[in-house]
Amino acid sequence: MSLQNFRTHSLAIEFYKDCKKHRELPAYARDQLCRAALSIPLNLAEGSTKRSFKDKIRFYEIAFASLREAQSLIEAEDLNDLKIKAHHLGGALYKLVNQPPPP
């Protein structure tokens, strides 16, 4: 699968870029938010290269967990502009994680 055609990866990149814009956060919170947000597309990219379904899902689960980490920071810091984007990305990640195995 080409990353250009991987819609969830594109959403994750967009989410990361939006997270980087929050310069008003304390440095420690912004750093943690950006690291969690960047982990999402990185794990999606790595998972997309795996041959086995089980390995793919494992990386997609890690990406989903990184989103949850970012969502905790979004909630704690009242970053309302990111809530909808995180929710939308979460739906796409949920579908990836819960897809049925191939026959």
The per-residue pLDDT for range 79-99, each reduced to its tens digit, is 999 999 999 999 999 999 999
The total of structural domains in the chain comes to 1
Determine the pLDDT at residue 25: 95
What's the pTM value of the predicted model, to 2 decimals?
0.93
Q: Has residue 91 been placed in a domain? A: yes
Q: Has residue 92 been placed in a domain? A: yes
CATH at residue 30: 1.20.1440.60
How many whole angstroms from its chain centre is CA 23? 20
Q: Has residue 103 been placed in a domain? A: no
Going from the C-alpha of 86 to that of each of 23, 50, 59, 65, 100, the distances in angstroms are 18, 25, 18, 12, 24
Residue-number span of the structural domain to which 49 is assigned: 3-97
Q: Has residue 93 been placed in a domain? A: yes
Of the candidates 71, 60, 79, 87, which has an alpha carbon nearest to the alpha carbon of residue 22?
A: 79
